[in-house]
Amino acid sequence: MSATVTAPPSVSAVEGRRRGTGLRRRQAVAAYCFVAPFFLVFLAMLVLPLFYSGYLSLFREQLMGGTVFTGVGNYVRALQDQAFISGVLRMARFLVIQVPVMLGLSLVFALALDSGRLRLQRAIRLSIFVPYAVPGVIAALMWGYLYGPDFGPFAQGARALGLATPQFLGNDWMLGSIMNIVTWSFAGYNMIILYAALRSIPPELYEAARVDGAGEFRVAWSIKIPAIKPALLLTTIFSVIGTFQLFNEPSLLRILAPNVIGVGYTPNLYAYNLAFTNQEINYAAAIAFLLGFVIMVVSYAVQLGAVRRERRS
Amino acid sequence: MTSQPLAADPDAGTAAGVQRPADAGTVRRRRRRVGGEPSTVLTVALLACAAYFLLPLAWLVIASTKSNADLFSTFGLWFADINIAKNLRDVVTFQDGIYLSWMGNTIFYAVVSGVGAAALATGAGYAFAKLHFPGGNALFAIVLGAIMVPLTALAIPTYLLFSKVGLTDTPWAVILPSLVSPFGVYLMRVYAAGAIPDSLLEAARVDGANEFRIFFSVALRLLAPGFVTVLLFALVATWNNYFLPLIMLNSPEYFPLTVGLAQWQATSAAGSGSQALFSMVITGSLVSLIPLVVAFLFLQRYWQSGLATGGVKQ
């Protein structure tokens, strides 16, 4: 591709065109210099580990030391591994419940802020957003204390009212409790992205609708939400990626409830435990690779679904 | 030399039909008025939601004032005897003041990674948005695809590669992987496309300025808000990261706050004699939040306007 650019301009070309070609070539050289630093780090820190991971996943450790080539053996094993499968399914369940709830909340908050009909707008926006500045580890730690069946304020309150102690960290509620932590952490972040998108809609788009007597809800539903579809898609895909990579919250809550959260509660937790507790590096690489594949497929499906819906309407 | 006044004049693009920032401002103000009267119902509903988001933080503030005994014997959402001075002293003196090293490490990792990632993204994003070069579209497609690569899938192989070259258990192990921000490149491309009028670059080229001079003396200034946005994203990502440093680091003196506090928490939950750690974990968590929350309060307008003007314009 670069050959067309580095080819010397023909002698018969008019003066102006020759000048243009030289300019374009200088521009291309500069462009490569601008992107080179990023791509250097990109290759070393993203592409290389990715290929290395794929390479590792094709081998198997032997009991007597050394590794042997096993082809897709690790992948076959993973697809039959109950711990891995149940972890992926758990994340799928997490995805279909938590992501719509969180993004729904973010969208409602963003629309409320954008309607210009809120008092204390700034304070509300900041309060909802501030959890984004709280590391996942600290969020899990705080909610872990709040959830506590002995000393947590919810348990204390329930006891004072003579109600049964809510078992937030029990088997039945754990996934919901983690959903709550993730929603708490990221609803505000997504709200800001959607809010920024709403603010960039040209007002002329709905001033006409208002003149025609459309109410705030109608304007939001028929004009504002369709206008920010790309931002909604972006936040959805980021949420999908984040969900499948869930690690911090379950690994912190595992300290409090080791019997509820097993080594394979999330695929990522599983890969971590395989690599660093069981020393099964090659199998862990296969799990990580497969997880990455699942994420790619799901995010691609989300995008495809969005494009198709766009075409239909 | 004429490129100098051009760069200083933000309205230089008007001649080419670029919308003037002043116009955008009046539109915005007019639109705010269209919104109608403030609604009390809506305000109360949103305040209730805001209370939910503030609740854990309120608990954290209250809990950090309590002694370890009061933590378990008094109601969680109200104050008991104020004990915060002792808690703070415990936090900064425990294990020879290792908490302060963790704080220093966190700041160091986050600032170096944030500035580095933003600088790399600015160069690449500008080139993708404003310069024509063969293969540009293909390279950008690769960057877009990479946004979807789960970083945790890379952490384990990166750890193995680093251990071969002796980089594990060093600050580099945390900083180097954090320098790559494909989303930052995407954001800077979108931002640069909106913030820098082509006519400005053309004018500078006609004046004979070379591409590097144009970038450093004309474009960079207009890209500053976008730079801050990407910087904040990357800084927060590194500040909050737990998985990567957990894998990479063994020596407590290199730990960031997330890994250190999680370790304290695990020790205190394991019980037996180390019960006194609970109030320290809580107070340590509170202190660890202060720098980032303050940074957000001060930079809020800056980075929000960065997002609003170009960050998510599709």
pLDDT tens-place string over residues B14-49? 333 333 333 444 444 444 444 567 888 999 999 999
Subunit contact A196:B150, Cβ cutoff 8 A: no
Chain A hits for B313, Cβ within 8 Å: 197, 200
Q: Picking from A76-80, A233-237, B307-311, which range would have the lowest pLDDT averaged per residue?
A: B307-311
Percentage with pLDDT > 90 across chain B: 47
Reference B180, options B156, B151, B157, B160; nearest CA is B151
Q: Decide which of A8 and A45 is more confident.
A: A45
Of A38, A139, A146, the CB nearest to B124: A38
Percentage with pLDDT > 70 across chain B: 82
Residue B265 touches partner A, C-beta closer than 8 Å: yes
- ipTM entry: 0.86
Q: What distances in angstroms separate CA A202 from CA A107, A164, A298, B23, one per listed residue? A: 18, 53, 33, 12
Chain B hits for A201, Cβ within 8 Å: none
Of the pLDDT bands very low, low, confident and very high (cuts 50, 70, 90), residue B80 is confident
Long-range contacts at A162-167 (CB < 8 A, ≥ 24 apart): none
- Residue B272: pLDDT above 80? no
CATH for B3-22+85-311 is: 1.10.3720.10
Residues of each domain in chain A carrying CATH 1.10.3720.10:
74-312
CA B100 to chain centre: 21
Of A152, A256, A295, the CB nearest to B150: A295
Q: Picking from A203-207, A224-228, B113-117, which range would have the lowest pLDDT averaged per residue?
A: A203-207
Chain B hits for A21, Cβ within 8 Å: none
Q: Picking from A115-124, A182-191, A196-205, which range would have the lowest pLDDT averaged per residue?
A: A196-205
Subunit contact B76:A156, Cβ cutoff 8 A: yes
d(CA A117, nearest CA chain B) in Å = 4
Mutate to test the interface with A, among B72, B130, B131 (most CBs of A within 10 A): B131
- First and final C-alpha spacing in chain A: 38
Q: How many CB pairs under 8 A join A and B?
A: 301
Cβ atoms within 10 Å of A155's Cβ, excluding its own: 21
CATH of A74-312, one of 2.60.40.10, 3.30.70.260, 3.40.50.720, 1.10.3720.10: 1.10.3720.10
CB < 8 Å from A in window 85-114 of B: none
Residue at token pair 């495809």: A304
Subunit contact B266:A188, Cβ cutoff 8 A: no
Domain positions in chain B are 3-22+85-311, 38-82
